[in-house]
Amino acid sequence: MKLIFAALILLLSAGQSFAESWIRGETSVSRLNSFQREKIFGNRLNTPEHSLTYTENAVKEKWDWRNVNDQNWLSPISNQGNCGSCVAFAAVAVLEGQYTITNNLSWLKPQFSQQMLFDCGEGSCDIGWLPEWASYQLRSVGVADLSCAPYLLGSSGKNGMCSENYCENQKSRTIQISRVTTPSTRWGGSDKKVKAALKKGPLLTTLNAREDFLYYKGGVYKTKHSKKVGGHAVALVGFDDDKQAWLIKNSWGEDWGEHGYAWVAYSDPSGVANLTWQYEVGETENKIAFSKLENDDFVSGKISLPYKSVNLTPVQLKIKSEHENILTVNCNIENSSCDLETKDLPDGRYEFSLVSEGIGSFPVTVYVANKESELVINWSDDLIDLSKPLSGQIVLALDVKLAESKIPPKNIGLIVRNEAGDIVYRNGTTNWAEKMLMGFRTRNVPNGRYELYFIAEVFSGGVSRIISTEAKQISILNN
């Protein structure tokens, strides 16, 4: 009888829905203190829950824009950092995906400026923004590429000012969407309509995040908590009827979820897919792009930059410093690559772009770093007394001083090491500022004595290395 009962339990377990099991763990956002957590939620629209009508289909379907016709049509995962700009990030993610899909070129992955969209739409890091406003802004004004207006809000957490001169030729680098439709609205909708729209491209959607959403590491998420922690916006990029789940693209970096993505159960109460917006864009003439080079890449020495183009015509690599075009390189049509000796350029920030018969690619921000980095990081004025036992939420201050070349760190991190020398806590961000605040929850580690210090990854001469501040001794005593 015991064997029969055990077998029955196994069968029932094997038959569990995907929505009843997901992987929980520490992520880049679960490690944040309460003040910083509030900053990552910026959807001001009240998302309805359980308003979508679901239909059980005899034939199961699935769709994933990361793998349609064996191609990934989505841009890289981004990180909104210390600002409630999730609506801008989700809207831009949808625009980037739709732009690539409309032009039927999976390698044409432009990146657009979340900063410009958020600034000029009057979004607020502290309060957030509305999806309707983001959609209206994209249609009425448009947005420039990411290299024109890089994202800086993630490190400062302070609102930026809209500008007509993020870059010299901003107007010619700005694109607009032609139409916005709403496959599902607060007055209801059906999963069939949302899925049909998804097959045409990604959708902007919103959700009411629960606390355990911060800890999502994989599987099909369905909350086990009723406590809501904030309104959030994401890009809806797929679905799977076998998993009974939607696929979302988030803006919390690759350390959260499945490398920045998540499967959310149809039955999850968050309201994901209940409100959706779809963008239509026109075709572009700019059908040329770097194959591997991405914004904020670091390069040194002799490099070869592969590219793709729809035409077999002569291609040139254009290199621009902050205010002037400084170098033009003829590329090799036969192997579709541009060779460059970066030692011919002073270290610093540049825009690289491709031009073929007067048609140009979207520019890409590149840092040339051949000389040893002179970046310096130091403890700033203490916000708390580290000589006393610490408990709860603490905020630490850091000064970042760039060298004359203005080459930034690749990332900044906070490290906690125990008395045996083992690292027991690590948190990092690619967002940086000259004056930085980083939070730490003492319950991330057991009570005891530790060393606490900041690190920065710097790149030069083709090699990354780690620099650090002095270590400070701390004692943690949680109640």
pLDDT in tens, 42-51: 999 999 998 8
pLDDT in tens, 323-372: 788 899 999 999 999 999 999 999 999 999 999 998 999 999 999 999 99
The reply to whether 7 falls in a domain is no
Contact residues for 313 (Cβ-Cβ < 8 A; gap 6+):
333, 356, 357
The reply to whether 1 falls in a domain is no
Same domain, 420 and 359: no
Same domain, 323 and 259: no
Q: What is the pLDDT of residue 9?
A: 37
Is the pLDDT assigned to residue 10 strictly greater than 60?
A: no
Q: Pick from 262, 280, 298: which residue ends a domain?
A: 280
Give, in order, the Cα–Cα distances in Å from 156 to each of 184, 232, 432, 437, 456. 35, 20, 8, 9, 17
Q: What is the CATH number of the domain that holds 349?
A: 2.60.40.10
Is the pLDDT assigned to residue 7 strictly greater than 50?
A: no
Same domain, 295 and 178: no
Q: Pick from 259, 280, 301: which residue ends a domain?
A: 280
Same domain, 317 and 394: no
Q: What is the pLDDT of residue 226?
A: 77
The reply to whether 140 falls in a domain is yes
* CA separation for the pair 7, 14 (Å, rounded): 11
* CA separation for the pair 147, 355 (Å, rounded): 16
pLDDT in tens, 382-431: 778 899 999 988 889 999 999 888 999 999 999 999 999 999 998 888 88
Longest dimension (CA), the chain: 82
DSSP string, 15-36: T--GGG-EEE---TTTTS-HHH
Residue 313 near residue 319, CB atoms below 8 Å: no
Q: What are phi and psi of 90, to 5 degrees?
A: -65, -40
| Identity of the amino acid at 141 | V
The reply to whether 9 falls in a domain is no
Is the pLDDT assigned to residue 23 strictly greater than 90?
A: yes
Q: What is the pLDDT of residue 228?
A: 92
* CA separation for the pair 214, 199 (Å, rounded): 28
Residue 348 near residue 367, CB atoms below 8 Å: yes
Contact residues for 178 (Cβ-Cβ < 8 A; gap 6+):
139, 280, 281, 282
Give the range of the structural domain holding residue 132, as residue numbers without chain letter: 17-280
| CA-closest candidate to residue 432, choices 408, 454, 465, 416 | 408
Q: What is the pLDDT of residue 32?
A: 85
The reply to whether 182 falls in a domain is yes
Q: Tell me the catalytic residues.
A: 86, 232, 250
* CA separation for the pair 202, 97 (Å, rounded): 7
DSSP string, 361-407: PPPEEEEE--SPP--EEEE-S-SS-TTS-B-SEEEEEEEEE--TT-P
Same domain, 394 and 339: no
How would you class 152 by CB atoms within 10 Å of its CB: exposed for 0-12, middle for 13-18, buried for 19 or more? middle
| CA-closest candidate to residue 42, choices 207, 184, 152 | 207
pLDDT in tens, 234-245: 999 999 999 999
Question: In the chain, what percentage of residues exceed pLDDT 70?
Answer: 96
Same domain, 244 and 355: no
Q: Is 101 helix (H, G, I), strand (E, B) or coil?
A: helix
Is the pLDDT assigned to residue 19 strictly greater than 70?
A: no
Same domain, 317 and 462: no
Q: What is the pLDDT of residue 115?
A: 97
Same domain, 382 and 362: no
The reply to whether 411 falls in a domain is yes
Structurally, the chain folds into a number of domains equal to: 3
pLDDT in tens, 301-328: 999 999 999 988 999 999 999 878 889 9
Angle at the Cα of 323 (from 115 to 172), degrees rounded to 5? Answer: 55
Same domain, 111 and 234: yes
Q: What is the CATH number of the domain that holds 263?
A: 3.90.70.10
Give, in order, the Cα–Cα distances in Å from 201 to each of 168, 246, 257, 343. 32, 14, 22, 42
| CA-closest candidate to residue 80, choices 219, 203, 234 | 234
The reply to whether 203 falls in a domain is yes
Q: What is the CATH number of the domain that holds 441?
A: 2.60.40.1930
* CA separation for the pair 198, 325 (Å, rounded): 41
Pick 438 or 275 by higher pLDDT. 275
pLDDT band at 20 (very low <50, low <70, confident <90, very high): low
Query: Buried (b) or exposed (e) across 207-236, using 16+ Cβ within 10 A?
Result: bbbbbbbbbbbebbbbbeeeebbbbbbbbb
Q: Pick from 340, 368, 396: which residue ends a domain?
A: 368
| CA-closest candidate to residue 341, choices 303, 296, 306, 290 | 303
**Calculated CA dihedral for residues 212, 218, 220, 222, nearest 10 degrees:** 0
Cα of 91 vs its chain's centroid, Å: 12
The reply to whether 434 falls in a domain is yes
Same domain, 312 and 168: no
Q: What are phi and psi of 56, to 5 degrees?
A: -80, 115
Find the mean pLDDT for residues 71-100: 97
Is the pLDDT assigned to residue 31 strictly greater than 90?
A: no
Same domain, 70 and 207: yes
pLDDT in tens, 172-219: 999 999 999 999 999 888 999 999 999 999 999 999 999 999 999 999
Find the mean pLDDT for residues 282-300: 94
Same domain, 340 and 407: no
**What's the mean per-residue pLDDT of the chain?**
92
